[in-house]
Amino acid sequence: MDHFIYKAGVLHAEGIAITEIAAAVGSPFYVYSTATLQRHYQVFDDALKGMDHLICYAMKANSNQAVLKVMADMGAGMDVVSGGEYARAIAAGVSPEKIVFSGVGKTAEEMEMALQGGIRQFNVESEPELLVLSAVATRLGKLANITLRVNPDVDAKTHAKIATGKSDNKFGIPMAKARAAYAQAASLSGINVVGIDVHIGSQLTDLEPYEIAFSKVAELTEQLRADGHTISRLDLGGGLGIPYQRSNTAPPLPMEYGEVIRRTVGHLGCEIEIEPGRLIAGNAGLMVASVIYVKQGAERKFLIIDAAMNDLIRPAMYEAYHDIIPVNEPALAAEPEPIDIVGPVCESGDTFAKQRLMPSLKPDDLVAFRSAGAYGAVMASEYNSRPLIPEVLVSGDQFAVVRPRPTYAEMISRDRLPPWML
Ligand code: LLP
C-alpha cells in the first residue's frame, strides 16, 4: 500500500497534488512519501514482533539524507556497503551501534573509518577480508564484531543480475567452508564472532528460497555452537520483492516472510537482523516526468518524455517493468492505445516501456513512474550531461526539495582543467 492516489482527478502524494510539486520544482523529479516509508518500516517491525530484532534499512535503495532521517526516527538501523554510505548514515543521525557493514570488497580504509566511528558488526564475505579486518582492528586496538556471510547455494528465482545466493555468485563463503572460516575467525586477534549473515538476492517473489536458506543457516548455527562459537545474531539480509505490476499477483507479504523467519530460526534465541531496501523505499517513491513529443514512427508511436535512462536505469538494465500513469486521471471512457515510452538519450536502450497501453497524451502532460523510490535516484547518472533530477519529500500537506536540481554551471564546475591548459 502507498500514499499515491488520485484525488479530484489529480494524482497526489499524500496531501499534495503532483501538479503543485511540478509547478514548483519543474520536471522531471523524484517524490517520496514519508507516510509510506514509515508504514513499510512498521510492517516489518510487526512481522518480527516477539523476536528480538533490528531492521537495518539497506540504504543502497535510497540514501537521501531525508529518507535516512525518516528511517532513523522510526528506530531503524542501516545496512551500509561503502565508506560513503557509512558517512551518510552517520550524517543522518543513525547510531553507530545500529549500523552493519556489508559488501564483498571493503577496503582497509573503509574498515578503519567504521571502527573509529563505531559499528555494530561487519558482515565479512571472504577469508582475505577477515585477515585485513583483523590487521586493521588490531592496529587500532579495537575489537571488530563480525558475522561471516555464507553462500547457501540457493536459487532466489529472480533476475540474474540481482541474484546473489548461488555458488557461482561472487558473494559470501561457501557453506562447506563455513566451519573452517569460523575457526580461523576465532583464532584471529581483533575479531569477535557474533553471528551468521546471509542474503540471497533481491526482488524475491517466492518465500521458498528464504525457507531453504534460513534452514541452512539454522543448521549451521547448531554446528557452530557445537564447535564452541557464540552465535547470538542472525543477519538474514533483505530482498523481499514488491508488486511492480499491479495487474500481477502480489509477492508475499512481510508478515508471511516473518513467519518463515520464525519457523526456521525463531527457536535459536538469536537476535534477528534483516536488511530490507526495496520494500521500504520502492513503492514510497514516484518519478514524475513530462511529455516532450508524441512522435509517429514508421510502425509505432513514441511518447518522448523528459526523463531518461540516466534518471531511472532499471528498465534498461534489468528489463524492469514500472507502472507509468498519467498525473491527470484519464476519463473512464478514454481508449488506451499502445505506445513506446522513451527518453531523449541517444541510445535505443533508453526505452522505459514498449507498446504500453496508455491514454492519449500530449506535450507537457505529466506522467508518473510508480515503484521508483528504490534503486531510482541512487542509480542515476549525468549521462548526456543531464543534471541529476531533484528529489522531493512529502509529509501530509507539506513538501520540500530534499536534493535540488543542479544548474548546468554547478554540473560543469565539478570538472577541472589541468594547469597546462590554463
Ligand atoms: N542486503 C544486501 C547485502 C544486499 O546486497 C541488498 C541488495 C540488500 C540487502 C537489499 O535488498 P532489497 O531488500 O532492496 O531487495 N539495483 C537493483 C537491486 C540491487 C540489489 C542489491 N543488493 C534493482 O534495481 O533491482
Handedness of CA 60, 61, 65, 71 (dihedral sign): negative
Q: Ligand 1 pocket: which residues have CB below 6 Å?
A: 58, 61, 79, 102, 162, 199, 202-203, 237-239, 275-279, 314, 318, 375
Domain boundary among 252, 274, 296: 274
Number of structural domains, the chain? 2
**Minimum CA distance residue for ligand 1 atom 12:** 239
The single-letter DSSP state of residue 388 is: P
- High-pLDDT (> 90) share of the chain, %: 93
Residues whose CB is less than 8 angstroms from the CB of residue 408 and which lie 6 or more positions away in sequence, other chains included: 385, 387
Residue 202 CA, closest ligand 1 atom number: 15
The Cα–Cα gap between 300 and 283 comes to: 30
> How does pLDDT run across 244-292, given as a tens digit for each residue?
998 788 899 999 999 999 999 999 999 999 999 999 999 999 999 999 9
Answer whether 0.85 is exceeded by the pTM. yes
pLDDT at 355: 97
> How does pLDDT run across 317-370, given as a tens digit for each residue?
999 999 999 999 998 878 999 999 999 999 999 999 999 999 999 999 999 999
| Ligand 1 pocket test target in 78, 100, 278, 280 with most atoms within 8 Å of CB | 278
> How does pLDDT run across 56-94, given as a tens digit for each residue?
999 999 999 999 999 999 999 999 999 999 999 999 999
Would the pLDDT of 161 be above 90? Answer: no
**Is residue 225 domain-shared with residue 287, that is, in the same domain?**
no
**What is the domain-level CATH number for residue 380?**
2.40.37.10
> How does pLDDT run across 390-410, given as a tens digit for each residue?
999 999 999 999 999 999 999
Q: Which of 362, 351, 356, 282 is nearest to 328 (CA)?
A: 362
> How does pLDDT run across 178-203, given as a tens digit for each residue?
999 999 999 999 999 999 999 999 99
What is the greatest pairwise CA distance in the chain? 72
**Is residue 218 domain-shared with residue 312, that is, in the same domain?**
no
Half-sphere exposure of 351 (CA within 13 A, CB side): 12
Q: What's the 55 CA to ligand 1 centre distance in angstroms?
A: 15
Residue 81 CA, closest ligand 1 atom number: 3
Q: What's the 278 CA to ligand 1 centre distance in angstroms?
A: 7
Beta bridge partners, 6, equal 11
Q: Is residue 51 part of a domain?
A: no
- The dihedral region occupied by 190, where left means phi > 0, alpha psi between -120 and 50, and beta the remainder, is left
Opening angle at CA 387, ends 381 and 389, nearest 5: 85
| Residues annotated catalytic, as ranges | 346
**Is residue 291 domain-shared with residue 255, that is, in the same domain?**
no
The Cα–Cα gap between 179 and 186 comes to: 11
Q: Is residue 93 part of a domain?
A: no
Residue 1 — pLDDT band, cuts 50, 70, 90? low
Find the domain containing 15 and state its range: 4-31+282-413
Opening angle at CA 206, ends 201 and 207, nearest 5: 85
DSSP letters, 35-78, are HHHHHHHHHHHHHTTTS-EEEEEETTS---HHHHHHHHHHT-EE
